[in-house]
Amino acid sequence: MAEKAKTQSSETWSADRLPGLDGRTVVVTGANSGIGLAATHALARAGAHVVLAVRDTERGRAAAATVPGSIEVRRLDLADLASVRAFADAWQGPLHLLVNNAGVMMLPRQRTKDGFEMQFGTNHLGHFALTNLLLPRITDRVVTVSSGAHRWGGARIGFDDLDMAANYTPQRAYAQSKLANLLFTLELQRRLTESGSAVRALAAHPGYAATNLQSHAANPVLRALMRLGNRFFAQDDRAGALPTLYAATEDLPGASYVGPDGLGEMRGKPTLVGRSRAAGDPLTARRLWRVSEELTGTRFPLSRDEEAGV
């Protein structure tokens, strides 16, 4: 799937095209702002019961108050594996759709509560653990939000130094975490297929969407440039949420990657898009999965071999 050409597009697709989602339960991480909140609005409007999984429940409740429909707020801190486990342990009943949307972007060097580099730990490891812990409850699909940043500088997974202790830059760390999102989706779908599960794993990216994510960049000059870009060039968060919604509801193959159809995939209607060669490497995806299992203490729960006691 390296550098795959676009294969499907809809010039008129919008959130109004969502199917009826009555009776379905959805979890959206990082749903209190940006494309997560925009996706929550659309999913709730279509009839789904949407759980806003957020680190700050006060902000989550304020966001939920703006959403008409069936809404619930639960605490989830993806930078704390104990919080991830508590969220999953408290879950009861089926979960039709998990949207791994939350993320941090180009932060100064920081670490999660468990000691991981913050961007890799939050954007990838937190969602990796959450997905595996919830997977026995999931009935339809998992959508993970990546980014065109997975291509930056020929991004690779630095297995010898995942925390980038020797050569940290906010941009490289962010690119690695977004590449990890795509490799996670690729390997998750392989495992789902191998286990005979009907659940699908897909990925999406919003293009250039104006959200508050860019406001946390470590470099003040970059923050200023991003503010200008958000004002004059970016699409709004509702348009940025369309690839996520498309991946969440359209009948697409597992491991599909959805983004905008415009120039440079920066804006436009949702379509299937390509990914870097590194993001389509199945051997790297398997290696990353094994490392992520070791780091998080979570495993894929649907393996036929494990069920058979092999």
> How far is residue 240's CA from residue 16's CA, in Å, rounded to a whole number?
15
Residue tagged 């342990």 (tokens): 89
Active site residue 174: yes
Q: Check: CB of residue 24 under 8 Å from CB of residue 47.
A: yes
Q: Copy the structure tokens of residue 84.
A: 């991830």
In this structure, the dihedral spanned by the alpha carbons of residues 31, 176, 132 and 41, taken in order and rounded to 10 degrees, is 20
The single residue of 168, 174, 246, 257 carrying the catalytic annotation is 174
> How far is residue 262's CA from residue 147's CA, in Å, rounded to a whole number?
15
Q: Check: CB of residue 288 under 8 Å from CB of residue 180.
A: yes
CA distances (Å), 92 to each of 25, 138, 200, 303, in order? 11, 11, 21, 22
Q: Copy the structure tokens of residue 220.
A: 């003040």
Crossing angle for the helix pair 34-45 and 242-249, nearest 10 degrees?
50
Strand partners, 111: 117
Would you give the DSSP letter of residue 137?
Answer: G
DSSP 230-294: HHHTPBPHHHHTHHHHHHHHS---TT-EEEE-SGGGSSSSEEE--B-TGGG-HHHHHHHHHHHHH
Report the catalytic residues: 174
